[in-house]
Structure 1
């Protein structure tokens, strides 16, 4: 059966950092992957031309991976904490009702960036297993420069429980991330292509694979 996958990204590029290889695998297997980008840069902080550039980069990255669709919610970053939580949750819920995904990917609740924490919470509210919600599986992904800098405590740390083999998709993930040239940094910065490849190799070595992406399983309804 074909899966309908929804990846929720607080900011454009989080979807590639956290799930780029897994997205490619889903597409290779004949599934549909949809991306929901929650925010755009606050014009008081980020010039409009930068936002336009980022969205052009996103389009190029998604073409490489074969993403089926992308939606933008237009909440401002980094100011998600200024919006009532129920408004964000209700908006995400509307997208879930429209797309009917059975698999949902969210940022990790312990990420140091407040936008990521807020999106996680709103996503969990939107995907509650009531009212015939289509979501059957929920996973949290890790975002370099956000997840690894979380507080080192049990309820904040990223402790992966699911590993996806992206050995045959790592190069496509790196190529897709390279499209986000405005967001990339030079090594050893965590948002460098080298660091992304190194993390994939580290996660892979955990389960005797050349490369993997790691996730936390939040819910699995069978």
Structure 2
């Protein structure tokens, strides 16, 4: 299942990724959004000793991820911007680098965007990798509580689960508010039929054509 990360704005997507990271690493430092951070949207300290080595995270949202013709070329541009920032952080303790994005990767051996990206990431000076769309999807599958914090990411099966569990939960009012927020957002989104890959947009009702209807004609001569 793919989650609609593109429903979030860049700032909220960064906060979501930070929240996801706190589930995997206890010593995550989350930096404020929309501020100069030296390429560090978050860092995970690998220990509390004096050397303070850390994993450095950079988070990138693409609003139309499936419209990218070549994710590999997109990643090249991102790494050209981020590599100088990473090099400045290596002397300060950065021992790993992870780029997080909602762009879908491709799995073809050697020629797919994931393998090509790994070849580029290996040249950054520290062990590096990219978390693609599928990496985020699988991590969110088991993070049920985050879906209530970011209801824009909820899907149909999530709502079905919520309805089933609502009678068993003491937090039904909070969950109802989240459902209403989700339904309202989906209604606004589905007023238009979006063809993301070709970047066409049409209002749903405009796709229907009015056809004139008249009552059938009775042949009066057939009864004579």
TM-score range with shorter-chain normalisation? 0.3 to 0.5
Name the TM-score, length of structure 2 as normaliser.
0.34
Higher relative contact order (CA 8 A, sep 6+): 1
Name the TM-score, length of structure 1 as normaliser.
0.34
**Of Structure 1 and Structure 2, which has the larger fraction of its residues in strand?**
1
